Amino acid sequence: MSSTTNNYDIVVWGATGFAGQLVAEHLTSHYPAAELSVAIGGRNESELRRLAEGLADESDREEIAIVVGDATKPASLREMASQTKVVCTTVGPYTTYGTPLVEACIEAGTDYCDLTGEINWVREMIDRYHDDAVAADVKIVHSCGFDSIPSDLGVKLLQSYATEAFGDPCEFVRIYLEDGEGGVSGGTLASAAELFEAAATDPIARETVSNPYSLAPPGERSGVDTGEQRRPQRDSIRSIWTAPSPMAAVNERVIRRSNALLEYPWGREFRCTEVVPTSSGIGGAAAAGGIALGLGVGTAAMKSRLLRRGLRRFVFPEPGTGPSEAKIKSGHFLIRVIGRGTTTDGPFTVVSEIGAELDPGYGATARMLGEAGMCLLRGETESPLDGGILTPASGIGDPLGDRLRDVGFTVTAGAWQ
């Protein structure tokens, strides 16, 4: 670790990786040096210096500080974490590289946010470190990218609106991956492979994948939801066909943890489902069937040890790579959440939307992680929780929506027309 006496606001850890560089670019270009002190961190000093020079040239900053460390050397992580107020990390697979950094941040009293969708690892962090993080008043906020801010925050914003407008939350919500276009990086695919690898060998990982409430606090890991949709279904709210969502296994569990950590403001009977909408009629049914078939084939391939390793070796791009700048800027997404509830005056239906004209997994995700870090840094949270292994909705809440609007996202909540 390079020696320094500076006290940074945010360290972007893994800044020379594909996603990390995008996060660093967002923070250094959007926030002036007088407002935000940013350092970039990783293990390759020469690459960090090249990146720092490029970031400085593209922003108003005279220079960008670097911190050098190694995810396999806990002492270097502790030194890095002690120099900053918040760590935004993109270094995955988190199952392999994430645990020592969580430990270091709790020890240093430093808030933390990441991009993980590896629910087996999140479960491990909950069981091992939640109480320690609570005692240290440290917020460890997982899944601050496309997994799972649009779904988790979308439900939180919808429930806030329902409670304010109707006096009660929704009993049931459905999250629709309405539209989207973007690329996939090597790091994301490596993380997905790690999840299937863990589920093949670790009984706790298998239970985490099979139990819809596996990310809830110990003693709270059961409920009325039966798990993600697995086949085409006719939608009860919009009278269209829907297919299973490839992100449901992560996002639904994160949402249920949010409800539990916030002490069940949406009720213990609250239910949520995430789906991909198609259309009505035979065409919609056929499209939903095609999506379900493709997802099933892909899942089966990833469950096979031989096929999984073949995909990692010969098909998946290398970690640290990703889509082109043009593809990132031409991407887009829209997540729509529709909820239903009942008051003494009768039923009501409300909706929230989160979207952006950016590639969801990279351009948009970089801004989501960066703005989550800004909320932690500035104390802009609506959370009653001072520390713990948290979700975006439970650890930050509605103020994150305000910051996302400020950086170009569509973020709305209102009555369903």
The CA distance from 348 to 340, in Å, is 6
Domain assignment of residue 244, given as a range: 149-359+411-415
In a domain, 131, yes or no: no
The CA distance from 74 to 76, in Å, is 5
Q: 237 φ, ψ to 5°? A: -95, -45
Least confident among 99-113, 200-214, 381-395, 398-412: 200-214
User: What's the confidence (pLDDT) of residue 186?
Assistant: 56
Structurally, the chain folds into a number of domains equal to 1
What are 161's two structure tokens? Answer: 């609106």
Q: How many residues does the chain have?
A: 417
User: What's the confidence (pLDDT) of residue 187?
Assistant: 53
pLDDT at 409 over 70: yes
The closest alpha carbon to 360, from 171, 180, 173, 156, belongs to: 180
The closest alpha carbon to 241, from 269, 198, 191, 275, belongs to: 275
Sheet holding 346-356, edge to edge: 233-234, 241-244, 271-277, 172-181, 332-343, 346-356, 410-415
**Which pLDDT tens digit goes with each residue over 144-153?**
999 999 999 9
Going by pLDDT thresholds of 50, 70 and 90, the confidence category of residue 200 is confident
In a domain, 243, yes or no: yes
In a domain, 248, yes or no: yes
In a domain, 123, yes or no: no
**Which pLDDT tens digit goes with each residue over 330-379?**
889 999 999 999 998 999 999 999 999 999 988 999 999 999 999 999 99
pLDDT at 242 over 70: yes
In a domain, 181, yes or no: yes
Going by pLDDT thresholds of 50, 70 and 90, the confidence category of residue 1 is very low
**Which pLDDT tens digit goes with each residue over 306-317?**
776 776 666 666
pTM over 0.85: yes
Instruction: Determine the average pLDDT of the residues in 55-84.
Output: 93
Amino acid identity at 205: A
In a domain, 4, yes or no: no
pLDDT at 392 over 70: yes
Q: 180 φ, ψ to 5°? A: 180, 150
User: What percent of the chain has a predicted confidence (pLDDT) above 90?
Assistant: 77
pLDDT at 3 over 60: no
Amino acid identity at 321: T
Q: What is the mean pLDDT of the chain?
A: 91
In a domain, 219, yes or no: yes
Q: Which residues are 349's β-sheet partners?
A: 340
In a domain, 241, yes or no: yes
DSSP per residue, 98-159:
THHHHHHHHHHT-EEEE----HHHHHHHHHHHHHHHHHHT-EEE---BTTBHHHHHHHHHHH
Q: Which residues are 89's β-sheet partners?
A: 13, 114
Q: Is the peptide bond before 319 cis (omega within 30 degrees of 0)?
A: no
